[in-house]
Structure 1
Amino acid sequence: MSKSLHKAEIRYLPLEKAILVVVQATRKLPHYFQVHTVIVLTQLLLRSILRSADYTGRIAKWGTILCAFDIKYMPRTAVKGQILTDLVAEFAEPSLEEEGGMRSMDEKSIGEISLQGPTCWKVYVDGATNQRNSRVGLVLISFEGITIEKSLRLGFSATNNEAEYEALLEGMSMVEKLGGKSVNIFSDSRLIVGQVNGELEARDERMQEYIDQAKCLQSRFDSFSLLHISRSGNTHADSLAMLATSSAQCLPRVILLEDLHRPSVVKMEVIHVHSVRMGPSWMDPLILFLKEDALPEEKSEADKIRRKASQFWLSEDLKLYKRSFSGPYLLCVHPDATKLILEELHEGINRSHTGGRSLSHRAITQGYWWPNMQKEAYEYVKKCNQCQRFAPNIHQPGGILNPLSSPWPFAQWGLDIIGPFPKAVGNKRNLLVGTDYFTK
């Protein structure tokens, strides 16, 4: 029994095992999956694989089973294990020896890295990000010994590194506004310190923009230094970032609480201008589902969109493409733009005035697709003036011939062929004779 199970386990890939777990959950708990929306937290690309039309076999079978349920696949968020460490460190009272040793170590390190001159500012920065929002804590100590505390709530989504950069840029801006020309900034993020000092390379475009902004602010100071300190030496700024009580320092201080609604670095994004006349179309539910995983409220429409979604692909610039069987992806066209495409292919520069079937096939070869395109191509060709004017004459009757009934009872006609005779004018050799049997 163990050998057979071992062999069965080898036949499945790790990604197939994850999909099989979800399938088994639907079989064990069908009453939950049929009534509620189930959210699967995973870092695997289950959503893309189950919607792809390239897979066959067991994955295609499992995808058919899972598409009958309202299942959403979302990435698993990071586990903030540092919260437990901060909780223990907050309620643990250090001994006198540890406190004295830490204080002497901090004073020694700060004394070594402090700049010469009495007009040097000291700034401690820290940023924190959780599931709700992002917050920044700043502690500014002037050359006169006055401490200014500031806590900022970021009104936009940001990562931990972006929050650290926001804290750094805000601290530099505050010192500049207060007239400081020399500043020592301390941060517990090795990545931020290394990138600003040039020791580490920033591959992310967003991080590079933050570095450029920090370099620009750095050029406005006579002396500037950014140094790394341990997390235990930056508890004051960390407490402000976590919205805890301020540190117990017997110094005059002013606590500022503000909201930062925009990031310090604004990226120039390319704005795609769409025509105002473009109204809602058949593409909107598919784009909304592929982009935000949102479905219509009606069950039948939601099932229809979920089944069709595997046949389409959404690009980064929100353009919908149709997956083709043997060629490249086809760009989906808005219903208001189909007439322009047919007009260009039928009567444009390379006009050919082909029939409806050839016109729809030519649109596909050019990389376009929309529903009922063959029917619309037929209707467009029928409306073309040149095609109707110079088309060959059609001798076929326009409708089905209905023979007339007999005008009176017993009326009958007979047709006889007489000949062949010698050739006459026009190569005529036979004679057709019609006889009315009623009147002879």
Structure 2
Amino acid sequence: MSSPEVDEVLFAYLTVALHAVSFVLIREDNGVQRPVYYVSKSIHEAEVRYLSLEKAILTVVHATCNLPHYFQAHTVVFLTQLPLKSILRSADYTGRIAKWGTILGAFDIKYMPRTSVKGQVLADLVAEFAECPEETNMKQSDMDEKSVGLISTQGGSSWRVYMDGVANQRGAGLGLVLISPKEIVIEKSLRLGFSATNNEAKYVALLMGMSMVHKMGGKIAELFSDSRLVVGQVKGELETRDPRMQGYLSQVRRMQTKFESFVLSHIPRGENTHADSLATLATSSTRNFPQVIIVEDLYTPTSPEKDVRQVHQVNLAPSWMDPILKFLESDILPEEKIEVDKIRRKVPRFWLSEDKKLYKRSFSGPYLLCVHPEMSESLLEELHEGICGSHTGGRSLSHRAITQGYWWPHMQKEAQDYVRKCN
């Protein structure tokens, strides 16, 4: 493997196979392509049914998740014959493609046609040796009675544990949801009497879940956590450097030996809301809760008729947007012939949505929301000094406004004036 130089442009090849995808990162050294890193991923369940273009985009997303340091420090050029650029920058797609496009938009990624195979051979080789998922290789007709009996026995005696740990100013708490082989749900909310970080709380939740399953005689455990750090360290995919984390990991390793089968999987936070709610409940108050908390359903909303408030609409001053909006909405043009010609030339570059918002058409990227002149300064202030502000220069600030989906005339000059005034 070769180490890239600072700010060096890297090239990438990807391969999409039936049950696996692969990605190879390459750097040019005096005309010779040298591999920097490679990643492969077996495709499971619904991902197998993705279209080839969707699998290719999934490969790029998977590469950014596994090698973020390369994508953050370098410009990466993907060499492929697939039209990934036009798909990711089109406003016509929704769902997972739009979500992937948002993720990839944070990196400096470019797409170019592949002119030679070179590194593509290595990407094909990595995909060829990727491990195929067991569920696609195992067919029902090939199973004998013993294997079916073994699988049904293991599935019938397996405990499922969903866990989460939370640490905040009020302390640390754990949430555990245990599901027995007979589908009996056991919920537990634990408040920690000692200080702990968020990652330490998630490790304690893992240990408590394993301990509860062991005490109830379980030998096969499937545990689910939304912490990539904990799951990665237990699986050996991530290095454990902190001494306290090493101590927790050692306890997990010792307790693993008490199980015949132990599987720890990562799940999205949205699929772990039950355990997360129990963990948050433990830290929501310093007082003791009753053993039973009654939760009732309210089906009828409270009538707001007795509490009527007047809302005063604030009208914005006239701006460059008004003639375009009038023409797109009601086909109304100004009286002056010169202004009419201007509007007719400008209108094809804009689009009016159903909720009466004006957007500027983009040649290769998504449509940009037009900003009223009275709102532009507050937008620049948020991008420059807000929560995610980076105090960049005027040119970078205007470019960032465009990447966030906004546009207005003379935005680069206004951004430079704002930065000059701020400094």
TM over 0.5: no
Normalised by the size of structure 2, how large is the TM-score? 0.31
Give the TM-score normalised by structure 1: 0.30
Which of the pair has more CA radius of gyration?
1
